[in-house]
């Protein structure tokens, strides 16, 4: 039987902030092709082996007090875009969509869809087709994008998944 002191210590441990258990963000923030990326989380959570990264994705001035010109967005459709992207590290393809949800909320919603639930549950690689179906169901008009340079999130969480011929993150222009 636990003593009152042991119960108090256990209560303090359980009440400790969860941030202490969350790994540091490897790419917070990163600028890739004129877009700011932050909050990278592997689909299914830290340690998951799905080969997919969920990230905050926006085209913005880093310091609004400066009269700086925005870097050019990679596509006209991404000009002043604020939302998220989900990167399929094995193919270099990604899906971007407008969203006000947090990256953690998006990660949880995608992980629970009928298209991705079993892959996340059994820690398997996710196919881009299933990823695209899941984002299409959850988000209005997602854009499918392709990059020929590895993203920071993929380099941090799934470096072994970089497609052959893709420029490594450390060598991005």
- For residue range 48-65, what is the model confidence (pLDDT) as tens digits? 999 999 999 998 755 555
Domain residue extents for the chain: 23-171
- Helix and strand numbers, DSSP H then E, in the chain: 5, 6
The residue written with tokens 């001035």 in the block is 61
Residue whose tokens read 């400066």: 66
Q: What is the pTM for the complete model shown?
A: 0.81
pLDDT class of 68 with cuts at 50, 70, 90: low
CB atoms inside a 10 Å sphere around CB 43: 26
Whole-number pLDDT of residue 69: 60
Adjacent-strand bridge partners of 31: 36
């Amino acid at each position: 039987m636990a003593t009152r002191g042991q119960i108090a210590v256990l209560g303090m441990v359980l009440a400790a902030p969860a941030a202490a258990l969350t790994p540091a963000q490897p790419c917070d923030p990163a600028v890739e092709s004129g877009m700011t990326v932050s909050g990278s989380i592997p689909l299914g959570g830290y340690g998951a082996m799905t080969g997919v990264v969920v990230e905050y994705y926006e085209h913005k001035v880093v310091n609004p007090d400066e009269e700086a010109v925005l870097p050019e967005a990679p596509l006209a459709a991404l000009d002043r875009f604020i939302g998220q992207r989900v990167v399929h590290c094995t193919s270099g393809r990604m899906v971007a969509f407008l969203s006000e949800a947090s990256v953690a909320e998006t990660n949880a919603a995608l992980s629970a869809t009928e298209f991705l639930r079993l892959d996340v549950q059994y820690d398997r690689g996710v196919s881009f087709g299933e990823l695209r179906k899941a984002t299409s169901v959850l988000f209005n008009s997602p854009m499918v994008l392709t990059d020929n340079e590895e993203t920071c999130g993929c380099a941090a969480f799934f470096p072994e998944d970089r497609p052959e011929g893709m420029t490594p993150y450390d060598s991005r222009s």
